Amino acid sequence: MKKLSFLSLILLLLAACSPEPNQDMVLNDLEYFETQGVNVLVYSNLFTGGFNDEKNAGIELIHHGVRTAQGGAVRLSHTPEQWDLVPEIPTRTVDSVSNSISATLRYDDYDFDSRVVVTAKGKGVEISVFLDEPLPESVEGSAGFNLEFLPSQYWGKTYLMDGRINRFSRYVASNTITRPNSEKPKQYKGYVTSDDRGTGKFIDPLPLETGRTMLLAPDEPERMVKITSADADIMLFDGRVLAQNGWYVVRSLLPAGKTGKVLTWTVEPNAVKGWVREPNIGFSQVGYLPSQQKVSVIELDKKDEPLAKASIYRVGEDGNATEVFRGNIESWGDYYKYHYVKFDFSSVETPGIYYIQYGDFKTNNFIIEDNVYDWITDATSDVWIPIHMNHMYVNEAYRVWHGEPFKEGYLQAPPNTDHFDLHSQGPTTDTKYKALETIPGLNVGGFFDAGDFDIETGSNISVVQNFVQTWEYFKPLRDQTFVDEEQRYVDLHRPDGTPDILQYIEHGTMNLVAQAEIIGHMAQTLSNSVLDNYHHLGDAASITDGLPYNPNLGPYEVARDGKSSGVKDDMWAFTSRNPSLDLRAAAMFAATSRALKGYNDDLSGRALIQSKRLLKESTELLANVPEDNRRWGRGADMGTNLQLYISTGEQQYSDKFQESLWPSLDRFVSFSILTALHAIPHMDEAYKEKLRPYVVKYKEYIEELEKDNPYGVPIGLRNWAGNGGVVNFGTTICFASQYYPDIIDASHAFKATNWLFGCHPYHNYSFVAAVGAARPKAVFYGNNRADFSFIPGNVAPGVLFRQPDHFENYDDWPFLWGQNEGTIGGNTSYLIFGSAFKNLVK
């Protein structure tokens, strides 16, 4: 026995002293480099977004579960801003034999090509830049290779450049110089992104450090990265000096007059030996009803061995916790990067305060109680929505959220104008107004679109429709907001005797009716004419000076009568006609005319007149549009005819609605089923029976989702995260289970709340700001994003999918809109879902 024990001890010591398994970087089947704890993606995600540099592309580093670096590419400035030129990637080649990935990068504006080759090298990668032709003279001194690091993961940590020690600052602290605009590289479509305020100069950041070897975060092993170059200086810049959404940029300039391999870096991200990602224990931060199903979805590293059991602890009134349930862990399987297991604790029904214990990991607490869902929409309706009312002064207690914006109104956008927010004015104005002429009467009502301050007409149409549906189905009488349209004043948490949602319907309709009456149709957008105004952060009233532009005045000069200025800061109306947008507006006007009847009869009548007119005119215009381009027109036409039938009772509209509905359901049932369900209260029993097989088909869709992913909801895989689809899914379940309880089980709706409130990939925070009292998300992409804060009631887009297998949602970096920007359309859709869900619970 003693000999056996001694032998066992020797074997254990030998095992402990043996080298770790091979930690070298390898090229995997998903076409990126990896070792345990480190992924290096090479143009898996391209610069193809609508806003150029979206901080989501290039060579990327996912370091111990967090995407900490991105943007690796040849760029034309030290700290590229959002609208700066980005390279096209016409070719990408993966060579498993040489363990390398190469890509061609092209700038058409400069007829400039380069080739980047990334090769596995030991525990890191070698990045080389090749030129077949010398640099064009126009980009000498500006073309360089950049790799950008996420500030929130590095501030407070140290870095070394050639052994010199420094620390990344929490707030930007960097030196700059000013240079003539003539020296600035050409920007995207001519937009200058740093306002020179008439000086004719732009700000150029200076490097924080320069050397040949840089070590990032030696004091934090999970974030430590070593970058070396034998043939070029490495510079470190702080991109936040020009834009709050800038990253730390590591950069080397490309040499002039050379070809072949002109630059080589070695990048070695530290891989912590034996690292395994901590479990992400998903659960509803809002809590659970005693009677509902309660299932935690636990996201595990594929190298993590799942435990057999997990426990539920209850916190007593004395503060002590007692285990009240211990249950089995059931495997669901792999989904993209991670493995998923489930823990069902539905049998725990006693009201109280609880937490989940999974091995050594303990969650924050949650509540089981009958009232946990009673307040899930209050922050959205009481705070987020009124803050986004345009053309109003909005106050909350001691805080002014914004003054009255855009008092000077809106100018007609000139023909053949492209806009930085993906709009354009066509070859004519499509109105009676001349280029840059003031269009009177548009500076009324409407809602800011999202984290910016424009009125996106399409979004505002959806918003008013969402308000009307919420009002008609659920009649919420909640009154916590003072709204005075004559004073143009809003005061939060101050009842005024009128249901808030009626006032929101009125406010949105005012702007949209004004567009229809004054322009003659719907504008694409009412937005900024100057890019520096568009990415403005702070008080919306300070974007412009409140005075119309007068070309006869000098820059920043104010007329003697104080009624105009020489500041080119005016908002523009983009008025190219879109008949599909007019159709959507016609549907909304038909609906709002009903809701406003008896409250604002004048606006109600005007809305109905515009509904009928726009339906007639847009139908005639769409008749001349090729069938392939009419898909969205068909959907809008369907909704418009339904709303007009509900408003007028005229059979012709019912016939036209059903003429569009059934083919649409045949094509894609989940796209049109909610509209079909909304029609049921206004149709006969035959309609409901005809719809039944489509509801059965939708049930099959629900069952497929349960097989598709461990959460059983539609998960978005594009460059805008998928919470909107989850909200729509939950709303559809609520209505379908009401009308067809024998087909659709209402319990499926809880999958949507579970997801929104914490049971989802990456982390377990509630996606609704200030909802989920224990741990809602802390930062969002709102107009106060520079403060790393949130606006209560904001609903984040959710977990963003990064090709080929990574989900993320930053809660320490608000500036990626695809995962953190709440929109007026999305948040009012949540208002409908929350109202429908609370009704279902009752």
Summary count for the chain: helices (H), strands (E): 16, 41
Q: Distance between alpha carbon 535 and the CA centroid of its chain, in Å?
A: 16
* CA nearest to 75, candidates 200, 224, 250, 228: 250
Six token digits for residue 570:
């005016």
437 half-sphere exposure, CB direction, 13 A CA radius: 11
CB 58 within 8 A of CB 71: yes
Q: Which residues of 27-39 are buried (b: 16+ CB within 10 A; e: fewer)?
A: beeebbbbbbbbb
- Between the alpha carbon of residue 695 and those of residues 660, 739, 747, the distances in Å are 17, 10, 16
The CA distance from 171 to 515, in Å, is 43
- Name 574's bridge partners: 525
The tokens describing 455, both together, are 């009125």
Per the residue annotation, which of 334, 704, 787, 812 is the catalytic one? 812
Triad 361, 362, 365: Cα angle to 5°: 160
Q: Which two tokens stand for residue 149?
A: 């690091």
Torsion of CA 302, 307, 312, 313, to 10 degrees: -100
CA separation for the pair 116, 39 (Å, rounded) = 18
Catalytic (active site) residue 95: no
CB atoms within 10 A of CB 155: 17
Q: What is the sign of the dihedral through the CA atoms of 221, 224, 228 and 233? A: negative
Contacts of 598 (CB under 8 A, 6+ apart): none
What is the C-alpha separation between 375 and 152, in angstroms, rounded? 32
Asked if residue 764 lies in contact with residue 775, where contact means CB atoms within 8 angstroms, the answer is: yes
Three-class DSSP category at 708: helix
Q: Using CA atoms, how far apart are residues 745 and 619, in angstroms rounded to an integer?
A: 39
Distance, in Å, from the CA atom of 680 to the CA atom of 688, rounded to the nearest integer, reads 6
Is 268 assigned a catalytic role? Answer: no
Closest CA to 64 of 371, 303, 234: 303
Rg of the chain in Å (alpha carbons): 29
Collapsing DSSP to helix, strand or coil, 457 comes out as helix
Nearest to 247 by CA among 78, 83, 88: 78
Largest separation between any pair of C-alpha atoms in the chain: 104
Beta strands 59-63 and 88-95 are: unpaired
748-752: long-range contacts, CB 8 A cutoff, minimum separation 24: 748/702, 748/712, 749/837, 749/840, 750/292, 750/293, 751/711, 751/712, 751/713, 752/713, 752/726, 752/727, 752/833, 752/837
Dihedral angle sign, alpha carbons of residues 792, 388, 424, 627: positive
**CA pair distance 571, 527, nearest whole angstrom:** 5
Which residues carry out catalysis? 812, 821
